[in-house]
Amino acid sequence: MAAATEPAPSFYEQVGGRETFQRIVDAFYREVALDDVLKPMYPEEDLGPAAERLLLFLEQYWGGPTTYGETRGHPRLRMRHMPFKVNPDARDRWLSCMRIAVDEAELSPMHRETLWDYLDRAAHAMVNTFED
């Protein structure tokens, strides 16, 4: 009888788990707070609740805890972003903030590119207007 094999570690585990994603989210929102287009898109005065939602989402998406789904249900990212004017400029600003955050995380090249590929595609999918 063959011995049971351990499942391969998730992307979440491979990159360092919550600590790594927390660093990415913290750096991202540090940059968002400085952006005059992105900052007003966040309904809370404090970016803390948005940061927590993003952290939980990223953790779940990449194979970590499923707290996001348990507390907020299906991500429905496009629907949740519909109330905000997400044009190409906002998308590019979001990507710029996220690029800084991902680079600061100092992931391996493979992990950095895997994460960035997803974030870039997700950001493009959130565009809901081409108006300024």
CA 116 and chain centroid, separation: 10
Q: What is the pLDDT of residues 64-83, one digit of tens each?
A: 999 988 898 887 877 777 77
The answer to whether position 80 is within a domain reads yes
Work out the burial of residue 98: count CB atoms within 10 Å of its CB; fewer than 13 is exposed, 13-18 middle, 19 or more buried.
buried
The answer to whether position 4 is within a domain reads no
The answer to whether position 21 is within a domain reads yes
Provide the domain count of the chain.
Answer: 1
The answer to whether position 5 is within a domain reads no
The answer to whether position 3 is within a domain reads no
The answer to whether position 131 is within a domain reads no
Compute the distance between CA of residue 39 and CA of residue 21 in angstroms, rounded to an integer. Answer: 21
Report the percent of the chain where pLDDT is more than 70.
97
Residue 103 has pLDDT above 80, yes or no: yes
The answer to whether position 6 is within a domain reads no
Residue 121 is part of which domain span? 11-126
Residue 122, domain CATH: 1.10.490.10
Q: Which pTM was predicted?
A: 0.90
